[in-house]
Structure 1
Amino acid sequence: MKALQIYIVEDEPLIVSTIETALLKQGYKIVGDAEDVISAIKDIKTLQPDLILIDIQLEGSQDGVDLALELDKAQLPYLFLTSQTDPETVARVKQTNPLGYIVKPFTEAGLRSNIELAWHNYESRNSDFLMLKSEGRLHKINQDSILYLKAFDNYCYVYTASKSYLVPHTLKYMAEQLNKDNFIKTHRSYWVNVNHIDSVGINELVLKTEPIPISASQKSLVLSKLKST
């Protein structure tokens, strides 16, 4: 299992060091840290961490709540690091959607358990969704709505009934993210949602939108999958 990649936004170097030491001991990977919102946003776009830890009270004109609002727009998961805050800040925090709060001062065990629980809940909620980056935007797509995926060189098209997305990943990479209970490879260039198959012919199957090629080597697997659903 891939180590969770974490980015830290905290303006107290001692706390950053404490967090890094504690999480590295637990097998997490720290991909970077920043003291301010502008640096954090730039890094997060480049490094694409799995999870961000954000101190609410930061030095400068923007604080952790400002950063959280930007992460909410991009649908990126984060946890707040928090101590006592004033009523105005608390009111602003209520407009954000963190996975949870790690209260300062924290223990190593408390830090670990907060992250583990928050990440478990996040994965549980998002297990049937794909995060797709297409045309400069991040899209959260329910896998049930996906009809099929089609290879396009080193890219991949993801088709729903209403829209198609060209994503900068190979078909093989995208297939690894799919719920294999519902998806099957029908051809070297296609993965199909079996719940949207209307019929199967000699060398093609029909979805609600168009025929999809099916290779001879995959046909028996597809028919077997259809019978079991």
Structure 2
Amino acid sequence: MIVAVWQRAAASRPPTKENSSSTVVVKALFAAGRGCPTEKAEVISRFEWYFAPRCLGNWRSSSRLALESCRSGLVILLLTALRMSTLPLLPLTCVIADDNEMNRLTLEHYVAMTEGLTLAGSFPDGVACLNYFRAGGTADLLLLDISMPQLSGLELIRILPEPLPEVVLVTTHRDYALDAFELQVADYLLKPLDYARFSRTVDRIRTRRAALAPPAPPVEAAEATFGPEGNTLFLKINNRLTRVNFDDVLYIEAMSVYSVLVTAKHKHIVYSTLKVFEERLPFSHFMRVHRSYIINSRHIEAVEDNQILLPGGHKVPIAKAYQESFFSKLRGL
């Protein structure tokens, strides 16, 4: 496919409206996005010699200015598109709030159809949705109806706790677009909703969040192996093994598919999820206090304003969903 695109490009003398440079650029982008690495490399290597002299609209111009203009614009566009086509999808979690069961089931079906989108909760009204977030629940995306009993979608947005998810209003009403703009919602979708429109919205949100995401953990994240006695962990980076005693661990923090073991002196990035640690740790003094944190209760210095104070000035929040079990275990120590 890519070879054919370039053959058509080279045959045009000069480019017509139907076979212009910009048209061939688009075709090459789509073709390269589906091609193998060798084909993508071929597209990149051929891009400058064909498109650079032509993309400014002058067929015969091959001046340095034209080349530099293309290199600063279209080449960057092409390289970015090719690289993005090989990147994994940014995973997103999603919550739905809609009092209409059929609409809610439709959205749940659309979420299940969308790669990289996981349903964290589905609620029949705004109050249940608000309670989910107040209990420490999180989501990247909130699909929200406007007209709901007791608490409308617009009222819910105004009182949601931080951090706020990306909110997409899904409604039959056209009259709330100004309110949606003032509340800075990510999108405003009208029912009945088709999957193509839904998918474009998710892709746009995913692209924006990916651009704002912090850098990925370093590639030297360690592989973790539990010691035979159960109270130690061996971390392997390249050919080096580092022993970590769990008694020295202040807390463990989730970071995507990684976890961070924090001691008084070091932070160890481990290629293991927080759930794995929660299942494998045999000690009752390690407690889950938040979706993203496990703490070592032996190092607690104080508890203040639903925060656990640890040595070295470390503070770990206690999510509402974990408060009852945490304080119950704390009293039993």
TM-score (norm 1): 0.52
CA contact (8 A) 2:171 2:191 kept: yes
Match of 2:181 among 86, 94, 101: 94
Gaps of 5+ in 2: 1-87, 216-247, 269-333
Q: Report the residue type matching 2:102 in the other structure.
A: L
Q: 1:102 Cα shift?
A: 2.1
CA contact (8 A) 1:51 1:76 kept: yes
In structure 1, the partner of 2:97 is: 9
In structure 2, the partner of 1:108 is: 195
Distance between the aligned counterparts of 1:57 and 1:172, measured in 2?
36
Distance between the aligned counterparts of 1:3 and 1:54, measured in 2?
20
Q: Report the residue type matching 1:26 in the other structure.
A: T
Q: CA separation of 1:98/1:126 partners in 2, compared to 1, >3 Å: closer, same or farther?
A: farther
Q: Within 5 Å, which residues of 2 pair with 1:1-229?
A: 3-27=91-115, 28-44=117-133, 45-60=135-150, 62-71=151-160, 73-86=162-175, 89-127=176-214, 153-155=249-251, 170=252, 173=255, 189-190=266-267
SS of residue matched to 2:205:
helix
Q: Deviations over 1:156-184 (max 9, x none)?
A: xxxxxxxxxxxxxx267489599xxxxxx
CA contact (8 A) 1:35 1:59 kept: no
Question: Which structure has more strand as a fraction of its residues?
Answer: 1
Q: Report the residue type matching 1:58 in the other structure.
A: M
SS of residue matched to 1:123:
helix
Q: 1:107 Cα shift?
A: 0.8
Q: Report the residue type matching 1:124 in the other structure.
A: A
Q: 1:53 Cα shift?
A: 0.7
Of stretches 101-110 and 64-73 in structure 1, the one that deviates more from structure 2 is: 64-73
Of stretches 67-76 and 114-123 in structure 1, the one that deviates more from structure 2 is: 67-76
Q: 1:124 Cα shift?
A: 1.5
Q: Report the residue type matching 1:9 in the other structure.
A: A
| Residue correspondences, number | 147
Question: Which structure has more helix as a fraction of its residues?
Answer: 2
CA contact (8 A) 2:96 2:143 kept: yes
Q: Report the residue type matching 1:153 in the other structure.
A: V
Q: How large is the Cα RMSD of the aligned pairs?
A: 3.6
SS of residue matched to 1:122:
helix
Q: Deviations over 1:73-119 (max 9, x none)?
A: 53332211133243xx4443333121222222211121112111122
Q: Deviations over 1:45-80 (max 9, x none)?
A: 4432221111122222x2111111233753332211
Q: Report the residue type matching 1:66 in the other structure.
A: E
SS of residue matched to 1:48:
coil
Q: Report the residue type matching 1:69 in the other structure.
A: R
Q: Report the residue type matching 1:76 in the other structure.
A: P
Q: Which has the higher contact order (CA 8 A, sep 6+)?
A: 1
CA contact (8 A) 2:145 2:153 kept: yes
Q: CA separation of 1:15/1:174 partners in 2, compared to 1, >3 Å: closer, same or farther?
A: closer
